[in-house]
Chains A and B, each alone.
Chain A
């Protein structure tokens, strides 16, 4: 019993000191199980490579320069798509959130196209734009757009009326109310929309790269299937998961920590 308590105590102290450990330690048993099954020879090695094979493939592909190139392509596509999605989504969401006329006119349309979904556009896009960047950009922007718009609308509408009144009675004009009250008040929801949008957009990008791509992580994985290289497919999967940690841990979480958490508008349970 004391052994478990001591281990637990060590875990709590260590993760408090190095928060990154809290994300890594739970993977130890998963990777160990993976390694044991792979080493046991239950399945042919080519069908079920172990963790070390994936690490080796990472080394080889990085050395050849394929992996860094493809990774950069995917990330740039996601960044452009996310930026365009936000640039359209946030103003549109503010408009629909503030104006009841715009809400009446646009809300049903937004819900309809949200339901259609990104991948469902692919057949049409392939006819229109062919196998290229246009198709992929459309898919990502489309995917990022809806969570951002819908959450921005929600955020704008959830800003307490009393805050708007307070600003008005302190002499704020309509544009100042928008900038000083509505946008910061909607920020928790906008960030949620961004988080969802990036998550969905990332998946949509991989799917699009598999079908129309000539580069990128999705293409890498689909190309590996053609060559029968299970190890490269697994490598692609590991990279997809890791990259989300990077986006969340280096961009989204610090942004939330500096803004909505600092202001006490949302609490993040540790």
Chain B
């Protein structure tokens, strides 16, 4: 678990159809403390996924800096684990093999890889499905594997790109609760991208509202943990905070 610093980050594309430059991310700065859970929330096209892709190293930044514990980011690397909206599991590997992938790539001995994979598969509650292939799992189970696979590699920072957007509403609530539980156990530094305001508030220590490539406001979430939907659903503090963030995002 390490800190993450984003300094004056920007991304400009050339749009060949419009024949002009488009600014997707405009001078974004963000400081994420070690072990902190930060949600970035905003509507489609606000640049949140672009930010995450730059932090992950999938896209080069047009300007600014990204530092993990002071070290500048150059391309993708195992210090930043990524959980994808489309799960991105390897179809030709079993659940266990998917989770063991990171440790294997880091060159750990086979027995050690197996032990780690077993541990994280069981953390995700999937021990019974360890030998199955992703295509044999439901969406919710697949994303549990996605989270376990990223965590098993022991990343400094966990980057989550709308990870629960494509699972059904009930499963999503369960996954959100499980994520807060796992996060409290392991205290990983997390950046969580979402367009769902309630999800952002439910999970995070701090919510960053984004619009048109700029940071609108950072809102701390002083809601006690552990968090569970059956309590927070009717909690006045949670509801008013969610409403504030929603109004902020919608007004921009």
Give min CB distance, A160 to chain B, whole Å.
Answer: 7
A interface, over-half SS: helix
Segment of A33-41, A68-76, A162-170 in the binding face? A162-170
Complex interface: chain A residues within 8 A of B136 (CB) = 264
Judged by a CB distance under 8 angstroms, whether B135 is at the interface is yes
Are B133 and A262 in touch, CB under 8 angstroms?
Answer: yes
Q: Which residues of A139-167 have CB atoms within 8 Å of chain B's CB atoms?
A: 160, 162-163, 165-167
Judged by a CB distance under 8 angstroms, whether B250 is at the interface is no
Are A168 and B76 in touch, CB under 8 angstroms?
Answer: yes
Judged by a CB distance under 8 angstroms, whether A263 is at the interface is yes
Judged by a CB distance under 8 angstroms, whether B153 is at the interface is yes
Are B91 and A265 in touch, CB under 8 angstroms?
Answer: yes
Segment of A82-90, A176-184, A190-198 in the binding face? A176-184
Give min CB distance, B74 to chain A, whole Å.
Answer: 12
Judged by a CB distance under 8 angstroms, whether B84 is at the interface is yes
A170 to B57, CA, bound (A): 12
Are A184 and B92 in touch, CB under 8 angstroms?
Answer: yes
Q: Could you list 23 A-B pairs, sorted by A, with CB under 8 Å?
A: A160-B88, A165-B76, A165-B84, A166-B90, A168-B77, A169-B57, A169-B58, A169-B80, A169-B81, A169-B82, A170-B78, A170-B81, A171-B105, A171-B106, A171-B153, A173-B105, A176-B105, A180-B101, A181-B90, A262-B133, A263-B133, A263-B135, A264-B133
Using CB atoms and an 8 Å cutoff, list the residues of chain A in contact with chain B.
160, 162-163, 165-173, 176, 180-181, 184-185, 187, 259, 262-265
The 3 closest A-B pairs by CB, nearest first: A264-B135, A171-B78, A168-B76
Using CB atoms and an 8 Å cutoff, list the residues of chain B in contact with chain A.
56-58, 75-78, 80-82, 84, 86, 88-92, 101-102, 105-106, 133-136, 149-150, 153
